[in-house]
Amino acid sequence: MKLLVFAHTPPPHHGQSYMVKLLLDGYGGDCRRQPEKSPVGYGIECYHVNARFSKTLEDVGEFQGGKIFLIFWFCLKALWCRFRHGVTSFYYVPTPGKAVALYRDWLVMLLCRPFFKNIILHWEAAGLGKWLETSAQIRSRAITYRLFKPVDLSIVLSNYNLADAEKFLSRHIRVVNNGIPDPCPDFAKSILPRSRARLAARIKMAAGETLSLGEVVEAGPDPETIKVLFLANGLREKGLFAAMRAVVTVNRRLAERGRKVRMKLVFAGNFMTSEEREEFERLHKEPEFADAVDHLGFISGGEKIRVLREADLFCFPTLYLGENQPVCLIEAMAFGLPIVTTRWRSLPEMLPQNYPGLVNGHDPEEIADALLKIAVLDTSEGLRETFIRHFSLEQYLSGMAAAIRSLEET
């Protein structure tokens, strides 16, 4: 089956662009660039229009005059593939609910939809349906429904996400989790023993006891420092500042109890706005925050693997508008990192039932409570098992292929 993939790959790097890259790579890449390659066991031939409208994270969702030209250029390339290579199925990732991005979606649907037999929407972000009903003007809502619905296939990531697809009267809806390559296949041999040794050390130090020399050796460097990883863009909505304040709150509580153990937040990511960068720098000048927060900037590849291996906890108290099934949480589960995150959109569905590390929002006191609770619970093996069962790359690729190829049967 031939598929026109109208979506961008990194850069800029974020969860959606990364998942598009995994999809293309998994199905053999762009057939035009690698004509000698055939579909890799999934029966999908991809023709890729790398619809990159933003050069940096700061540009995402912002209006720029040049983007209008790019829309027409990318649509022209899509139509060329349609008639030159006979591609009849059009894959697209709609906006989560931003005005400028929505206008882009209008133009793409207006220019491309009439020429393709099948329209496939992949709801990597959540919330467009609710945003249209609660935040958009009546005219914008009417135009969106007219241009989008009904589509032939909607692929959603979760049960929560079903509402978006149903709002657009999709003829067919399939649920397919995101999935990534296993970043730590040696989990049982090298990561789990270290995780449990550090857990035992945390429990003992939190009780005011002193570690023996053997326990210090097993726990590894700095057993008194609990490394809390925040691996995401530095957005207020994603919970960066809430996580910073929560870690400072935890350290105040531990100091009041006379405990030697403390937490340090390791922030790995870029800023999307100058305002958030300036606020971070202002806070980081205060002694408590300077001592409790390290900023690594954007990391990838081996550096990301190292940081995930060295982390003790993962904190991601997001309330981001389009949050759905963030890759950073999947990566944290792959490493068995105890997670504190929010009861927001699809996130609770990702985690084991009755998971104890969920919070309601950005209240630093509530997040601090959750961090202290999850720090002394053994959740690593259960989270790793959740990753293996639900978020592997093979499950993602095979599930996507089955959903896309189901259109051949209709």
- What is the H or E stretch that residue 313 is in? strand 313-316
Q: Are residues 213 and 283 in the same domain?
A: yes
Reference 125, options 164, 153, 88, 87; nearest CA is: 164
Q: Are residues 67 and 130 in the same domain?
A: yes
Encoding tokens for residue 183? 């970043």
Phi, psi of 87 (to 5 degrees): -85, 125
Could you tell me which residues come within 8 angstroms of residue 167 by beta carbon, excluding any fewer than 6 positions away? 128, 129, 132, 149
Encoding tokens for residue 102? 């929505």
Angle between helices 380-390 and 192-206 (to 10 degrees): 140
Q: Are residues 303 and 320 in the same domain?
A: yes
Q: What is the model's pLDDT at position 55?
A: 65
In the block, residue with structure tokens 């598929």: 3
Instruction: Report the C-alpha gap between 14 and 19 in whole angstroms.
Output: 9
Q: Are residues 270 and 358 in the same domain?
A: yes
Could you tell me which residues come within 8 angstroms of residue 24 by beta carbon, excluding any fewer than 6 positions away? 5, 9, 30, 46, 48
Q: Are residues 129 and 195 in the same domain?
A: no
371 close to 228: Cβ distance less than 8 angstroms = yes
Cα dihedral 156, 158, 163, 165, rounded to 10, equals 10
Instruction: Report the C-alpha gap between 215 and 205 in whole angstroms.
Output: 11
Q: Are residues 234 and 284 in the same domain?
A: yes
CATH assignment of the domain containing 316? 3.40.50.2000
Q: What is the model's pLDDT at position 56?
A: 55
Cα 77–Cα 80–Cα 86 angle in degrees, nearest 5: 130
Q: Are residues 157 and 207 in the same domain?
A: no
What is the tally of structural domains in the chain?
A: 2
- Domain extent at residue 154: 2-179+392-409
Amino acid at 391: F
- Tell me the pLDDT of the chain (410 aa) as tens digits: 999 999 999 987 788 999 999 999 999 999 887 655 555 679 999 999 999 876 655 555 554 556 789 999 999 999 999 999 999 999 999 988 788 889 999 999 999 999 999 999 999 988 888 888 888 889 999 999 899 878 999 999 999 889 888 888 899 999 999 999 999 999 999 999 999 999 999 999 888 888 899 998 998 889 999 999 999 999 999 999 999 999 999 999 999 999 889 999 999 999 988 999 999 999 999 999 999 999 999 999 999 999 999 999 999 999 998 899 999 999 999 999 999 999 999 999 999 999 999 999 999 999 999 999 999 999 999 999 999 999 999 999 999 999 999 998 76
Q: Are residues 252 and 401 in the same domain?
A: no
Instruction: Report the C-alpha gap between 162 and 226 in whole angstroms.
Output: 38
Neighbours of 303 (CB within 10 A): 13
Q: Count of alpha carbons within 13 Å of 354, Cβ hemisphere only?
A: 0
Encoding tokens for residue 251? 């350290």
Could you tell me which residues come within 8 angstroms of residue 239 by beta carbon, excluding any fewer than 6 positions away? 230, 315, 316, 317, 318, 319, 342, 362
Q: Are residues 397 and 365 in the same domain?
A: no
Q: Are residues 90 and 27 in the same domain?
A: yes
Q: What is the model's pLDDT at position 100?
A: 84
Q: Are residues 55 and 158 in the same domain?
A: yes
**245: which strand partners?**
none
Q: Are residues 118 and 23 in the same domain?
A: yes
Decide the pairing of beta strands 293-295 and 358-359. unpaired
Angle between helices 393-405 and 15-26 (to 10 degrees): 70
